[in-house]
Structure 1
């Protein structure tokens, strides 16, 4: 018998196009709005290069013409400004029914930060919160961005942790709308860090912070 209060289905995907992951998340969300007893889900994956803007995100934070662009850009229903995803960045999408945890969005954001801070601690790195901003910072560099959407207390979207990505994509935006603070990746501190290893660390810390039993699922095609 599990000692944890809830089970959470874990999907460890490889690289998945952003639009496919978005459809998947929306489907999982709608299913759980219709049937709140369905189990929670955590998706861990990477995306091909893509820019995303939050619902109220300002186009001025893109340093290129969105109407005539070679770059894939999506405006989506999460909070927050513009961010960049690419291989080497670990993206996590928790689809959680917060009625099982706490119906408090600030609490939920702090819990996501805590998952990433604990993950960094595995490597002897001191992740920090920055008052007034959402995300996780390491020696003044933002290494993880967080943006969520919640409907009927069920979450979608989530977090992005820069493990070993090509950081040049961030030069074409003002990341998260913050012009005066640099973004960083874990390779700056641990050059040979493995994304596969970080995946398992994030999953372990997620299970601890949310007190769930992770149940590994077969990746979807």
Structure 2
């Protein structure tokens, strides 16, 4: 029998604040969380703050609170040691947090599916290998995208899934004692201006763009409306069952 994982889908609640979704990762393994967030920028644990294009416009105090060394009350860092954080805000009023995932700066917001697989990699059919885990997440996304006639691809150097030179899904994970946290985000139909280089250097990659299912369809002249975030969540859940060789049951 395949091991069972529990899906907790919060999409029916609409967008939720990032910090609330982050806190919900305290679920026990093996659980998969599905979210749509209000606009937020997040920096990985070792991310370069200069990839926030407006970083030099922030106050000295704000820059310090976002730094890689800032921790504890008053900092903008969310981690297991300090579950309270005070975000810094972009010039457009978007909260910014530093979190414990890998990767550089990214955006989450309406029209984007965020998935947090909380897996115990010590238990079969999983492996104690974060590189394997990331490759499996990529494969799950690639498989799901075929439902929308989109052929994604991997990048030899950077994690995530790409369509041409543009990233359609970002991956940033973390683990503690082989329990995984954070996960991936698929751009379904978000406002891509939040990824504009006048705001951030997405994932720290210069000269690369960001796309979405909606944008790919529009460029191809597809007349129908893009799928909903919930539709994509259903496809991802099915593809993760196949790729990870697990059974995913909806929480009731």
Task: State TM-score, norm by structure 1.
Answer: 0.89
Match of 1:45 in 2: 35
Cα offsets for 1:152-202 (capped at 9, x unmatched): 010000000001001111111000000111111111222522122111101
Match of 1:35 in 2: none
Q: Is there any run of 5+ residues in structure 2 with no aligned partner, and where?
A: 63-88, 219-224
Q: Give the Å deviation of 1:71.
A: 1.6
Cα offsets for 1:59-100 (capped at 9, x unmatched): 100012453632200100000000000010000000000012
Match of 2:233 in 1: 199
Match of 2:211 in 1: 184
Segments ≥4 residues shifted beyond 3 Å: none
How many residue pairs get aligned? The number is 205
Task: Report SS of the residue matched to 1:43.
Answer: strand
Match of 1:131 in 2: 156
Looking at structure 2, the residues matched to 114 and 203 of structure 1 have their Cα atoms a distance apart, in angstroms, of 12
Match of 1:95 in 2: 118
CA RMSD of aligned residues (A): 1.3
Looking at structure 2, the residues matched to 16 and 97 of structure 1 have their Cα atoms a distance apart, in angstroms, of 26
Match of 2:83 in 1: none
**Alignment partner of 1:107 is 2:132:** yes
Cα offsets for 1:9-56 (capped at 9, x unmatched): 10111222100111111x22xxx5xxxxxx400011110000000000
Looking at structure 2, the residues matched to 83 and 74 of structure 1 have their Cα atoms a distance apart, in angstroms, of 10
Looking at structure 1, the residues matched to 20 and 165 of structure 2 have their Cα atoms a distance apart, in angstroms, of 33
Looking at structure 2, the residues matched to 85 and 131 of structure 1 have their Cα atoms a distance apart, in angstroms, of 24
